[in-house]
Amino acid sequence: MEDIITGVTQWRDRLISELKDEIYSEVIWNEDNDITSYYTDKPDWCAFEALQLYIAAKYLGETVPKTVPKDLNVFEHPIYKRFIRANQSNYSLFECEWWLPVSETLMFPAKLPTGHEKTLATVGLLEAELREINAVDWKANEKTILSWRDSQGYPTDGYFKDGKADIGEVHTEYDTVSLAKFAYSIFWQAVKHSQKYGTMIILDY
């Protein structure tokens, strides 16, 4: 474990050094295994892709699809494809899986500790994108945004009552905006956690 931490911290320090001309604020970036608190919630892929579809439709001035299928493949959706052609991938939410705890708004190619090349972005850029998305339509305050984690999202397919599991209606379609708000809330909380504790945000497979 110590070798892994050493390798990752060396990668972190090298990356910050390479970005020194673009970073003007103090960088608090913890890689200390179990010492720093980590945020582990996730929207799952369908909700994440619903958020991407919502962003794409709003950017293009098109109607957000009312529902999305449970097996949504957003890459094949016509709205998503039109957005990518028009936007040329300027959103980290469409390009990145790793966001670094840096305040500046940056997105750039870099090598991971494994040597694989990825497009990385900063938490500062992710926060700016989330604020822009909210300003387009929702205009929600933070209390409302935080509430979406529990009030929006996936419908319940089953219940647990009196010690027994009961399967209710099995849903194959989800409300697009509700899923988008659910994913948005989780990303918002991840950003706030990262800013407080100096941790990276990484999409989990």
92-116 pLDDT, tens digit each? 999 999 999 999 999 999 999 888 9
Q: Terminal CA-to-CA distance of the chain, rounded, Å?
A: 21
How many C-alpha atoms does 158 have within 13 Å on its Cβ side? 6
For range 163-185, the mean pLDDT: 82
Residue with tokens 């529990």: 150
Beta carbons within 8 Å of 117's beta carbon, 6+ residues apart = 109, 110, 111
What is the pTM for the complete model shown?
Answer: 0.91
Task: With cut-offs at 50, 70 and 90, classify the pLDDT of residue 73.
Answer: very high
| pLDDT score of 34 | 81
